[in-house]
């Protein structure tokens, strides 16, 4: 409801209250159809009784209300609401006159839910009336949250029993806000019959029948539901228990007649006695249990009719031997479907009765010890003297001399147990299992052995935890020690607070399901009885017992095999759980044992799924071997070890080259078997089943793993037989996606050996250095093929080659030589080496024959830093590989980078890293004895394989830099200026080999200081310093010297000079022309080994000239004019052929 609407309604209520103070009214009915309206139920209260008006608020849904005053009480009728009527007596405080009600609707197993909050109402007493739906119990939640419309976990508690369709009344007080009706939860009970069989008795709510079913623990139905009683109802109770090795008894309480009846059945489900009425009236609040003593059994029951904890005794034929007796004559049971009592037989002469006594201000849980005649030996013993009004109790027996009493304490909200000897000596004092189960719970116990080897009993305790809304269980020893911590049996259990039952073992008659297991039964949301099995460790049980597998007829064939041959291990295994894996342990002559996995497939000496497990074991040592044990793990994860103790004696005499590796398999509907490719024993065969019209493949896989040796010949031999001649077998080889038929294989009923040596086998095997051969079998009827052995026979050409390099780690200036030494190779046609460079590219080098089987080649392609991988091949004249081998070496830098001259000589320098940003380095290089003094490189990738810078000091005023072998962004170089130079030029197209500029010189800047810096990047190789020299030209003399020509505008001269490549002077400077200026251009070219020619444009004279000189700079001809009239010098070039000089210019 919105706040504004609620405020208006409250104001209306106050207004109507004021009216009532001034006037008297006759009886008045007010009908209001809006939720939260202020209701003046009876305004004519008068001043005598001062009954105040009541404001009724329904915050979540509209309500229709009729009110009426009756004396000092006010009746409020609610139309269409779970609460039919609210009667409030003496509500007299006008300041506390608000009543809050809510109808949340069904929730989970609660079919009807309603809440009332009288905390803001002052009254003497109040009562609500409702009509039960299809429900048998009413629960109360004192901590109901009206805002969230929820009850905190564990706060629901049983208030009273209900009769479906009948009205009921509840007296309310301030702390009773929420109520919920729940339908009945049928009773159920369990009894073991044998290891994998049990009976479950239950009340079938759908048909109102009581009866039982017999089931297998893994879920199969042995006997469908057998009806005992057809008039059961929601309050009917039932229990079932074995009474000896062949029979069980069922006792049940018929709801409508409230009579306790009993019947005995054989373990097959056949009735052996008629129905016997034990007690004709046991009332609505009751419970029943059975304790078997061997030749007799005790039926215990809570009698709500006369409030007794009663019992009677019967022989196993149904004859009564103990008449109605009791351990407590005033237990006053308050509720039906409660664990009120428990009975358990400790042995054939002693039994225990446990019960909940509600006839006290502090209800208690007690037990008594009795003998087989019903005599009480130990009278009532209290184990909890204040267990609350909703306590539950259970009991079970341990080891023929102990018993457990467990109970739910509804006051403390915990689950507790105590263990005693049958003489009443305490073994384990009260022990809490769960200390926060809520206000409602149910409980059950089951005795079990921890496993099939245990000789003492444990017990499982099962309970309902209403806080977590789960069913839980835990396992404890006979001394009260926890074996398995609490675990979840069922989460979000529904309906709530259901009855549960558990079974494992009944010690008094030694009847049990599988050792180490127990079963829990309960009702699901549809009120159907269901069960779940658990192992003693809390894991869920498959329902199968841990029956040890049967192991028979273990064999080894042959018993005297060859080393490097195989033996076949076979054994028959039967395991009802199913074998997960079977492992044979072989005690070897030396070293650790070998473990061999056996399988039930088409293997050696066995067919798939024939129960015979087999495997081949390849022998690597001679002398005696022993198959000692077989370890089997079944599908229930149970491991068993079986002694075998068979031996075989291996002897030398059959070997397979170490580098020949073979494998094979039979492919048949996903089943694989592994016969030996190299087996030579007649005692081993591979059984292979073929069906009509189907093709099966038997594969031989061979790989030659020694790359040195090549195949000279190859054949495949198979020795086998069929059980029919109506079979076709072809040996094929797989080449790519194609199968090529090589040989037909004989289909004979006697053992036959076929050898296939087809050329295709050899050719393809040699090409691929491996082969996959397939035996393709087709049949027209059912056929079995026994493959005795199959072998690949290979002849190897033992050609070898050794590969070596000069050094394994080299620098840039090292000489690397590759050398091959061959053996058993006659006249190779070609010897090559594939060299894979660090950047992944591959170069091929042909090696030079140095005779005597030695081949060599120099490796000069070593600019990159990193690994160089070499594979050398020897080919015959048909281009077949005769042999191959591999080697490698690593090229490393001298420093962070290599700084070298053009001939790869290292310069004198030092380098250090200035910064490192994610692998990008800034490097500073200091050079000694060099025109270039410092070099700073930026953002060099430290993982780069490119780490070379070439420097060439051509002359004191000419130098070149080649950074193309370096990974970087840019660099700055510091240079010492040549004396007299004042201008810097650059040539982008510098030829490092010929030491000349193949393009134009471009002026960069003026230089005046003794040192200057320039920024370089890839493509900036050559720089020249001149004294205002507008042009410069170079020409080589030989490998060690060259001519340089240049203009000097400040002196109006054209000079030539001869220098060595190291910068020293060969011939001194000579002036050729003294009339040039700064726009004059010059070019120079060698003519032969002794002469060179020079051409130039003379700016002031506006003439083009040329002259021929000896290499010593003396004149070989006078100056000649070839153009007398140039407007302005632009460019000039001179070059020479064998007989001519060619001049080109622009002006």
Span of 335-344, 709-718, 810-819, 1050-1059 with lowest mean pLDDT: 709-718
Confidence of residue 57 (pLDDT cuts 50, 70, 90): confident
Span of 738-742, 755-759, 812-816, 936-940 with lowest mean pLDDT: 755-759
Task: Look at residue 10 in the predicted model and tell me its pLDDT.
Answer: 32
| Token pair 């950074």 in the structure block, residue | 963
Does the pLDDT value for residue 31 go beyond 90? no
Mean pLDDT of 748-762: 72
In a domain, 630, yes or no: yes
CATH number, domain with residue 417? 2.120.10.70
Span of 352-356, 459-463, 800-804, 867-871 with lowest mean pLDDT: 800-804
Mean pLDDT of 920-935: 90
CATH number, domain with residue 865? 2.60.40.1930
Of 501, 535, 569, the last residue of a domain is: 535
Say if CB 143 and CB 154 are below 8 A apart: no
Does the pLDDT value for residue 475 go beyond 50? yes
Task: Look at residue 243 in the predicted model and tell me its pLDDT.
Answer: 97
Residues 434, 487, single domain; the answer is yes
Residues 526, 636, single domain; the answer is no
In a domain, 1014, yes or no: no
Question: In the chain, how long is the greatest CA-to-CA distance?
Answer: 159
Residues 235, 296, single domain; the answer is yes
* Predicted confidence (pLDDT) per residue in 795-833, tens digit: 555 566 788 888 899 999 888 888 888 776 666 767 888
Q: Please state whether the peptide bond connecting residue 495 to the residue before it is cis, i.e. omega within 30 degrees of 0.
A: yes
As a whole number of Å, the CA-based R_g of the chain is 54
Does the pLDDT value for residue 757 go beyond 80? no
Task: Look at residue 1 in the predicted model and tell me its pLDDT.
Answer: 34
Task: Look at residue 307 in the predicted model and tell me its pLDDT.
Answer: 92
* Predicted confidence (pLDDT) per residue in 222-279, tens digit: 998 899 999 888 778 999 999 999 999 999 998 788 999 999 999 999 999 999 999 9
Residues 200, 152, single domain; the answer is no
Does the pLDDT value for residue 973 go beyond 70? yes
Residues 780, 813, single domain; the answer is no
Quote the Cα angle for 300-306-310, to 5°: 15
Confidence of residue 838 (pLDDT cuts 50, 70, 90): very high
Note the pTM of the prediction, 2 decimals: 0.49
Confidence of residue 687 (pLDDT cuts 50, 70, 90): low
Mean residue pLDDT across the chain: 81
In a domain, 44, yes or no: yes
Does the pLDDT value for residue 708 go beyond 50? no
Quote the Cα angle for 1048-1054-1055, to 5°: 95
Span of 516-520, 592-596, 753-757 with lowest mean pLDDT: 753-757
Of 766, 798, 830, the last residue of a domain is: 798
* Predicted confidence (pLDDT) per residue in 407-423, tens digit: 999 999 999 999 999 99
What is the spatial distance between Cα 398 and Cα 446, in angstroms, rounded to a whole number? 10
Span of 755-759, 945-949, 1061-1065 with lowest mean pLDDT: 755-759
Task: Look at residue 164 in the predicted model and tell me its pLDDT.
Answer: 75
Does the pLDDT value for residue 1109 go beyond 90? yes
In a domain, 986, yes or no: no
Confidence of residue 771 (pLDDT cuts 50, 70, 90): low
Task: Look at residue 381 in the predicted model and tell me its pLDDT.
Answer: 96
Say if CB 229 and CB 259 are below 8 A apart: no
Task: Look at residue 785 in the predicted model and tell me its pLDDT.
Answer: 59
Does the pLDDT value for residue 310 go beyond 90? yes
Span of 282-296, 513-527, 962-976 with lowest mean pLDDT: 513-527
What is the spatial distance between Cα 1082 and Cα 1000, in angstroms, rounded to a whole number? 12
Task: Look at residue 269 in the predicted model and tell me its pLDDT.
Answer: 95
More confident residue, 1145 or 109: 1145
Residues 43, 170, single domain; the answer is yes
Confidence of residue 3 (pLDDT cuts 50, 70, 90): very low
Percent of the chain with pLDDT over 70: 81
Mean pLDDT of 930-959: 87
Does the pLDDT value for residue 100 go beyond 90? no
Say if CB 835 and CB 843 are below 8 A apart: yes
Residues 512, 637, single domain; the answer is no
Write out the residue range of the structural domain in which residue 1112 sits. 1029-1147
Residues 1048, 1120, single domain; the answer is yes
In a domain, 987, yes or no: no
Task: Look at residue 229 in the predicted model and tell me its pLDDT.
Answer: 92
Of 167, 182, 197, the last residue of a domain is: 182
In a domain, 1135, yes or no: yes
Does the pLDDT value for residue 666 go beyond 50? no
Mean pLDDT of 871-887: 75
Residues 577, 461, single domain; the answer is no
Say if CB 587 and CB 539 are below 8 A apart: no
| Token pair 């340089």 in the structure block, residue | 1044
Does the pLDDT value for residue 564 go beyond 50? yes
CATH number, domain with residue 551? 2.60.40.10
Residues 806, 791, single domain; the answer is no
Among candidate residues 62, 46, 65, the one with its CA nearest the CA of residue 54: 65
Burial letters 662-680, b for 16+ CB under 10 A, else e: bebbbebeebebbbbbbbb
Percent of the chain with pLDDT over 90: 36
Confidence of residue 14 (pLDDT cuts 50, 70, 90): very low
What is the spatial distance between Cα 320 and Cα 326, in angstroms, rounded to a whole number? 16
Residues 256, 386, single domain; the answer is yes
Task: Look at residue 37 in the predicted model and tell me its pLDDT.
Answer: 38
- Contacts of residue 896, Cβ cutoff 8 Å, sequence gap at least 6: 911, 912, 913, 921, 923, 940, 947
Say if CB 962 and CB 932 are below 8 A apart: no
Task: Look at residue 16 in the predicted model and tell me its pLDDT.
Answer: 31
First to last CA, the chain: 104
* Predicted confidence (pLDDT) per residue in 592-642, tens digit: 999 999 998 876 777 777 788 988 888 889 999 999 999 988 876 678 889
Does the pLDDT value for residue 590 go beyond 90? yes
Residues 338, 268, single domain; the answer is yes
Question: Is 285 strand, coil or helix?
Answer: coil
Span of 139-153, 476-490, 751-765, 948-962 with lowest mean pLDDT: 751-765
Does the pLDDT value for residue 487 go beyond 90? yes
Mean pLDDT of 873-895: 80
The domain tally of the chain equals 6
In a domain, 225, yes or no: yes
Task: Look at residue 677 in the predicted model and tell me its pLDDT.
Answer: 37
Question: Is 19 strand, coil or helix?
Answer: helix
In a domain, 922, yes or no: no
Among candidate residues 305, 290, 382, the one with its CA nearest the CA of residue 336: 305
What is the spatial distance between Cα 876 and Cα 881, in angstroms, rounded to a whole number? 7
Burial letters 785-822, b for 16+ CB under 10 A, else e: bbbbbbbbebebbebbbebebeeeebebeeebebbbeb
* Predicted confidence (pLDDT) per residue in 58-78, tens digit: 888 888 888 888 878 888 888
* Predicted confidence (pLDDT) per residue in 1014-1068, tens digit: 888 876 677 777 655 567 888 888 888 889 988 865 677 888 999 887 778 889 8
Does the pLDDT value for residue 572 go beyond 70? yes
Confidence of residue 527 (pLDDT cuts 50, 70, 90): low
């Amino acid at each position: 409801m919105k706040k504004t609407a609620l405020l208006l309604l409250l104001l209306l209520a106050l207004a109507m209250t004021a009216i009532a103070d001034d006037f008297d009214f006759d009886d008045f009915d007010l009908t209001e159809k809006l939720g939260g309206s202020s209701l003046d139920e009876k305004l004519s209260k008068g001043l005598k009784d001062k009954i105040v008006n009541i404001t009724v608020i329904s915050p979540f849904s509209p309500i229709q209300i009729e009110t009426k005053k009756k004396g000092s009480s006010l009746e409020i009728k609610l139309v269409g609401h779970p609460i039919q009527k609210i009667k409030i007596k003496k509500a007299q405080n006008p300041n506390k006159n608000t009543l809050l009600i809510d109808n949340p609707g069904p929730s989970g197993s609660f079919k009807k839910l309603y809440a009332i909050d009288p905390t803001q109402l002052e009254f003497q007493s109040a009562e609500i009336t409702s009509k039960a739906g299809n429900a048998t119990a009413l629960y109360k939640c004192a901590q109901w949250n009206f805002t969230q419309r929820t009850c905190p976990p564990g706060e629901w508690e049983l208030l009273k029993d209900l009769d479906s369709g009948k009205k009921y009344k509840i007296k309310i007080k301030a702390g009773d806000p929420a109520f919920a009706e729940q339908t009945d939860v049928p009773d159920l009970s369990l009894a073991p019959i044998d290891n994998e069989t049990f009976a479950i008795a239950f009340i079938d709510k759908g048909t109102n029948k009581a009866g039982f079913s017999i089931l297998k623990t893994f879920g199969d139905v042995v006997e469908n539901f057998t009806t005992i009683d057809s008039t059961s109802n929601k309050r009917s109770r039932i229990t079932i228990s074995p009474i000896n090795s062949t029979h069980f008894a069922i006792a049940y309480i018929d709801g409508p007649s409230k009579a306790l009846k009993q019947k005995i059945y054989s373990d097959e489900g056949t009735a052996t006695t008629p129905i016997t009425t034990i007690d004709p009236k046991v009332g609505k609040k009751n419970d029943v249990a059975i304790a078997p003593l061997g030749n007799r059994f005790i039926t215990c029951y809570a009698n709500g009719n006369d409030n007794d904890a009663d019992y009677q005794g019967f022989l196993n034929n149904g004859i009564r031997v103990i008449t109605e007796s009791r351990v407590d004559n005033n237990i006053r049971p308050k509720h039906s479907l409660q664990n009120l009592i428990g009975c358990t037989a400790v042995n054939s002469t002693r039994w225990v009765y446990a019960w909940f006594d509600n006839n006290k201000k502090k209800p208690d849980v007690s037990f008594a010890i009795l003998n087989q005649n019903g005599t009480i030996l130990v009278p009532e013993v209290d184990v909890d003297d204040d267990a609350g009004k909703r306590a539950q109790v259970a009991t079970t027996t341990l080891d023929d001399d102990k018993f457990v009493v467990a109970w739910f304490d509804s006051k403390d909200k915990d689950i507790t147990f105590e263990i005693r000897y049958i003489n009443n000596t305490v073994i384990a004092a009260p022990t809490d299992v769960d200390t926060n189960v809520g206000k409602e719970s149910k409980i059950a116990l089951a005795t079990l052995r921890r496993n099939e080897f245990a000789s003492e009993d444990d017990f499982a305790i099962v309970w309902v935890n209403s806080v977590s809304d789960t069913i839980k269980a835990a396992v404890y020893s006979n001394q009260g020690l926890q074996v398995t911590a609490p675990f979840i049996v069922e989460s979000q259990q529904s309906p709530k607070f259901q009855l549960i039952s558990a079974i494992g073992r009944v010690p008094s008659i030694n009847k049990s399901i599988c050792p180490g297991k127990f079963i829990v039964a309960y009702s699901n949301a549809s009120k159907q009885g269901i069960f779940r099995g658990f192992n003693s460790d809390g894991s869920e049980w498959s329902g199968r017992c841990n029956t040890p597998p049967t192991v028979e007829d273990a064999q080894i064939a042959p018993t005297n095999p060859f080393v490097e041959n195989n033996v076949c291990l076979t054994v028959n295994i039967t395991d009802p759980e199913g074998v997960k894996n079977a492992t044979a342990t072989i005690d070897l002559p030396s070293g650790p044992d070998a473990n061999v996995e056996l399988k039930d497939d088409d293997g050696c000496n066995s067919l798939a799924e024939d129960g015979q497990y087999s495997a081949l074991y390849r022998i690597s040592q001679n002398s005696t071997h022993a198959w000692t044990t077989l370890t089997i793990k079944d599908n229930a994860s149970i491991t068993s070890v079986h002694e075998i103790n068979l031996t075989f004696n291996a002897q030398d005499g059959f070997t397979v080259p170490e580098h020949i590796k073979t494998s094979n398999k039979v492919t048949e509907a996903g089943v694989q078997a592994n016969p030996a490719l190299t087996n030579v024993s007649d005692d081993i065969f591979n059984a292979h089943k073929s069906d009509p019209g189907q093709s099966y493949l038997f594969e031989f896989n061979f790989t030659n793993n020694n790359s040195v040796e090549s195949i000279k010949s190859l054949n495949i031999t198979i020795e086998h037989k069929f059980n029919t001649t109506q079979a076709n077998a072809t040996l094929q080889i797989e080449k790519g996606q194609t199968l090529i038929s090589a040989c037909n294989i004989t289909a004979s009923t006697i053992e036959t050996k076929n050898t296939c040596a087809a050329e295709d086998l050899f050719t393809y095997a040699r090409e691929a250095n491996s082969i996959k051969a397939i035996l393709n079998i087709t049949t027209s009827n059912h056929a079995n093929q026994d493959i005795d052995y199959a072998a690949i026979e290979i002849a190897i050409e033992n050609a070898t080659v050794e590969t070596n390099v000069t050094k394994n780690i080299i620098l840039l200036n090292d000489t690397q030589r590759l050398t091959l030494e061959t053996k058993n190779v006659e006249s190779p046609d070609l010897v090559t080496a594939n060299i894979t460079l660090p950047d992944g590219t591959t170069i091929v080098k042909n090696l030079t024959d140095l005779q005597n089987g030695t081949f060599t080649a120099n490796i000069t392609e070593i600019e990159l830093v990193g690994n160089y991988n070499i594979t050398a091949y020897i080919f015959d004249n048909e281009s077949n590989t005769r042999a191959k081998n591999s080697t490698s070496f690593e090229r490393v830098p001298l420093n962070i980078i290599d700084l070298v001259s053009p001939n790869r000589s290292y310069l004198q320098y030092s380098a250090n890293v200035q910064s490192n940003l994610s692998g990008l380095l800034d490097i500073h290089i200091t050079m000694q004895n060099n025109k270039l003094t410092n070099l700073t490189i930026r953002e060099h990738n430290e993982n780069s394989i490119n780490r070379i810078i070439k420097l060439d000091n051509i002359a004191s005023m000419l130098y070149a830099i080649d950074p193309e072998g370096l990974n970087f962004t840019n660099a700055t170089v510091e240079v010492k200026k040549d004396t007299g130079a004042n201008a810097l030029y650059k040539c982008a197209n510098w030829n490092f080999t010929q030491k000349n500029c193949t393009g134009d010189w471009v002026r960069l800047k003026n230089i005046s200081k003794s040192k200057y810096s320039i920024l370089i990047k890839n493509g900036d190789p050559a720089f020249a310093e001149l004294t205002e020299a507008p042009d410069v030209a170079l020409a080589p003399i030989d490998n060690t010297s060259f001519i340089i020509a240049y203009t000097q505008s400040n002196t109006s001269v054209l000079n030539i000079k001869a220098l060595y490549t190291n910068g020293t002077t060969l011939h001194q400077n000579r002036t050729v022309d003294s009339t040039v200026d700064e726009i004059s251009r010059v070019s120079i070219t060698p003519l032969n080994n002794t002469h060179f020619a020079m051409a130039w444009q003379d700016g002031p004279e506006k003439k083009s000239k040329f002259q021929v000189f000896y290499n010593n700079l003396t004149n070989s001809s006078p100056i000649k004019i070839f153009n007398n009239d140039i407007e302005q010098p632009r460019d000039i070039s001179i070059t020479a052929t064998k007989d001519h000089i060619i001049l080109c210019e622009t002006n």
